[in-house]
């Protein structure tokens, strides 16, 4: 697997298009292209998993404030979901967070996304609470599960 830092060098139209295609394919309610672009600039940082032609199979984005990071986005193209790429991206991101001095990581995830909740639990995240009706859903709203992990 080839990882690369995710940052402002991904703001060129061609590279941003590659990331946005991953985002659109991976999420039922994807971020806008503009939101994704704004998340490639400080205080955000992340990792992208590359293939030989420079395309992206997935990425993760974090925001750091002092010694806390929040996982803002983690996505993998649907054809490769369930193959361990999400885990590899998240583990790489958490390593980077520790190297940046982070002591805690927070995230929120759709309550109905059992695969993601399971991954986070396997990697040591615990459920801290829920935000009722936080995410848009097909038949109304869906809860967000709030999770955290100490990184030391």
User: Which amino acids are annotated catalytic?
Assistant: 108, 120
Q: Measure the CA–CA gap between 142 and 132, rounded to whole angstroms.
A: 7
Q: Which residues of 10-19 are buried (b: 16+ CB within 10 A; e: fewer)?
A: beeeebeebb
Phi, psi torsion values for 112, nearest 5 degrees: -80, -5
Q: Measure the CA–CA gap between 89 and 49, rounded to whole angstroms.
A: 7
Q: Which residues of 136-149 are buried (b: 16+ CB within 10 A; e: fewer)?
A: eeeeeebbbbbbbb
Helices (H), 6-147: 13-26, 33-38, 85-99, 114-122
73 marked as binding residue: no
| Residue stretches of the annotated binding site for acetyl-CoA | 113
| Residue stretches of the annotated binding site | 113
């Amino acid at each position: 697997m080839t990882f690369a830092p995710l940052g402002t060098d991904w703001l060129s139209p061609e590279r941003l298009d590659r990331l946005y295609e991953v985002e659109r394919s991976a999420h039922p309610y994807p971020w806008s292209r503009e939101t994704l672009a704004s998340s490639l600039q400080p205080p955000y940082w992340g990792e992208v998993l590359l293939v030989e032609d420079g395309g992206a199979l997935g990425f993760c984005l974090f925001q750091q404030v002092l010694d806390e990071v929040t996982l803002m986005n983690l996505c993998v193209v649907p054809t490769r979901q369930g193959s361990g790429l999400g885990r590899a991206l998240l583990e790489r991101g958490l390593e980077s967070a520790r190297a940046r001095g982070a002591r805690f990581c927070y995230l929120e995830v759709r309550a109905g996304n059992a695969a993601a909740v399971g991954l986070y639990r396997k990697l040591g995240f615990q459920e801290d609470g829920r935000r009722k009706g936080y995410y848009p859903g097909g038949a109304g709203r869906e809860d967000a599960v709030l999770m955290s992990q100490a990184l030391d």
